[in-house]
Structure 1
Amino acid sequence: MEHLRSPKLALAALLVLFLALGNVALMKVGADEKICNMTEQQLEACKPSVSGSDPTPPTTECCNGLKEADLTCLCSYKNSGFLPALGIDPDLAMQLPAKCGITAPTDC
């Protein structure tokens, strides 16, 4: 266990554990379950707007889901490694509320 005393290695191990647990949590989300008050279907509808080098404008389904979402909860993910690990660009994700005509929380 001597190698885990390195702060960088310990942080890397913690990040890998966090990502693994996060992916398991996402796999368990069903159509009726929600993350930050958005269903898996609504989150998937938004993904083309927040990923890739040529994102598409948000769909009506995405914006309707975002209107119901707990934006403060969603904001809590913006600085984590969780979004990039899922192929989501955090900068594009931060622009999504404005593209849907929604005011984001000021502390986001």
Structure 2
Amino acid sequence: MAPGKLMVVLAVVVFVAVALAGGSEAITLCKMSDDQLMACKPAVTNPNPAEPTTECCTGLSAADLSCLCSYKNSAVLPALGIDPNLAMGLPAKCGLTPPANC
């Protein structure tokens, strides 16, 4: 695995571990809190993805979408049970315009 990808994987693993340990108040990913990320998870999880909630879309509207796009080809999303295609379609479902290069 390339060193850059390894660092991304390690960062996400640390984020998830801290979130699961209850220390999530100070943790954010791409300007989304763990609560906002968790609110979006049902909308990006197969086999029956839900429509995104208001909480999810509100969090996504304040997120760094370019940062989130950087995970689209990463092994991190599938490892967390997230479908990358559903994740990349989430901004449109929330009425947001994703970055051009996403």
Q: TM-score, normalised by structure 1?
A: 0.79
Cα deviation, 1:36-85, whole Å, max 9, x if unaligned, reads: 00000000000000002110000000000000000000000000000000
Structure 1 equivalent of residue 85 of structure 2: 91
Determine the structure 2 residue equivalent to 1:41: 35
Provide closer, same or farther for how the CA distance between residues 105 and 33 of structure 1 changes in structure 2, counting only shifts above 3 A: same
Runs of 4+ with deviation above 4 angstroms: 15-21
Count of residues paired in the alignment: 97
Seq. identity, %: 53
Alpha carbons of structure 1 residues 20 and 35: separation in structure 2 relative to 1, 3 Å: closer
Report which of the two structures shows the higher radius of gyration computed on alpha carbons: 1
CA RMSD, Structure 1 to Structure 2 (Å): 2.2
Q: Distance in 1 between matches of 2:15 and 2:60?
A: 20
